[in-house]
């Protein structure tokens, strides 16, 4: 049984079809790369999976539970955590407080929450800013805090919305290294939304491509990169010809 199963999900905002009959699943421990041009529906898909957006049609299952019965704040207790395209952090809480709260809400044990929060601080090299308020930090560090908060919830399924956006080349490499190591160590399933196709290919077991709310390709990173529909969506050329 897949860990997450999204079936026939459609979301419209007024006349815009953000998702159109999307079906996909994520296996336990799998990294699924989700790519697609701007406005393709990637964030909307993560919003559906984390219950921020309710689909007009379709179902959403985590193991044998329909997630449609749950509120977004209940998902962390079910083992689902996410990061945001634009970090959503509290200006009045320190970096360590963010991590501690996330860990507390998932483990419900104060002392071990403290330990988990400190481990994640180390793991994501945020020790030096533990006492800082996130809105005073550079945006790349804010992104890392937002990621760390999701990781501190010790999820079974981690939803990452462009975690490497705005990072320099070196930071991207270290993010990719961290992600590969994290999934190996934690056995956590991940949906990785990213525009950097190289990064996605290097970290994902399988890649799904969205365009105008529809899945236009899915498969191994190599197969997807050669797919004519993907070349068309990204480059406006079929079969790589005429570029
Ligand atoms: N809350 C909303 N209200 C109205 N339209 C929305 C809303 N959220 C998304 N949309 C529209 O739905 C479509 C999909 O948006 P979405 O943010 O999911 O795309 P995306 O693939 O994440 O794009 P990007 O790569 O730019 O982040 C777009 O046309 C967008 O304008
Ligand atoms: Mg987006």
Question: Domain total for the chain?
Answer: 2
Residue ending a domain, among 121, 152, 183, is 152
Task: Answer yes or no: do 70 and 11 share one domain.
Answer: yes
Task: Answer yes or no: do 17 and 38 share one domain.
Answer: yes
H/E run at residue 185:
helix 169-186
* CA pair distance 74, 186, nearest whole angstrom: 21
Task: Kindly give the distance from the C-alpha atom of residue 225 to the centroid of ligand 2, in angstroms, as a whole number.
Answer: 20
Quick check: CB of 38 below 6 Å from ligand 1?
Answer: yes
In ligand 1, the atom with minimum distance to the C-alpha of 47 is 18
What's the pLDDT tens digit per position in 212-236?
A: 999 999 999 999 988 998 888 876 7
pTM exceeds cut of 0.85:
yes
Q: Closest ligand to 35 CA? A: 1
Task: Answer yes or no: do 12 and 117 share one domain.
Answer: no
Provide the terminal-to-terminal Cα distance of the chain, rounded to the nearest Å: 42
Which neighbouring-strand residues pair with 31?
A: 190
Q: Which residues surround ligand 2, an ion (CB under 5 A)?
A: 42-43, 85
CATH classification of the domain holding 169: 3.40.50.300
Task: Answer yes or no: do 194 and 231 share one domain.
Answer: yes
Confidence of residue 238 (pLDDT cuts 50, 70, 90): low
* 167-176, 180-189, 231-240: least confident range: 231-240
Task: Answer yes or no: do 120 and 54 share one domain.
Answer: no
Quick check: CB of 18 below 6 Å from ligand 1?
Answer: yes
Domain residue limits at 178: 4-79+155-235
Task: Answer yes or no: do 97 and 61 share one domain.
Answer: no
* CA pair distance 155, 28, nearest whole angstrom: 11
What's the pLDDT tens digit per position in 97-114?
A: 999 999 998 866 666 889
pLDDT of residue 240: 45
Q: What share of the chain is helix, strand, coil (3-state, %, to 5)?
A: 45, 25, 35
Q: Closest ligand to 39 CA? A: 1
């Amino acid at each position: 049984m897949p860990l997450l199963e999204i079936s026939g999900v459609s979301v419209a905002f007024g006349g815009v079809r953000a998702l159109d009959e999307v079906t996909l699943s994520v296996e336990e421990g799998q990294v699924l790369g989700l790519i697609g041009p701007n406005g393709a529906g990637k964030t909307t898909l993560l919003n559906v999976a984390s219950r921020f957006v309710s689909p007009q049609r379709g179902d959403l299952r985590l193991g044998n539970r329909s997630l449609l019965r749950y509120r977004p704040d209940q998902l962390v207790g079910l083992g689902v955590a996410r990061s945001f395209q634009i970090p959503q952090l509290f200006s009045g809480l320190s970096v360590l407080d963010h991590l501690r709260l996330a860990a507390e809400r998932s483990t419900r044990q104060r002392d071990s929450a403290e330990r988990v929060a400190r481990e994640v601080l180390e793991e994501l090299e945020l020790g030096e800013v533990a006492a800082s308020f996130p809105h005073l930090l550079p945006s790349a560090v804010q992104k890392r805090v937002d990621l760390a908060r999701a990781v501190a919830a010790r999820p079974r399924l981690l939803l990452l919305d462009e975690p490497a956006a705005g990072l320099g080349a070196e930071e991207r490499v270290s993010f990719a290294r961290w992600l590969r190591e994290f999934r190996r160590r934690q056995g956590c399933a991940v949906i990785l939304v990213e525009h950097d196709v190289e990064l996605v290919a290097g970290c994902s077991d399988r890649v799904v491509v969205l365009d105008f709310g529809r899945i236009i390709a899915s498969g191994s990173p190599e197969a997807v990169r050669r797919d004519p529909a993907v070349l068309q969506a990204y480059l406006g050329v079929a079969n790589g010809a005429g570029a």
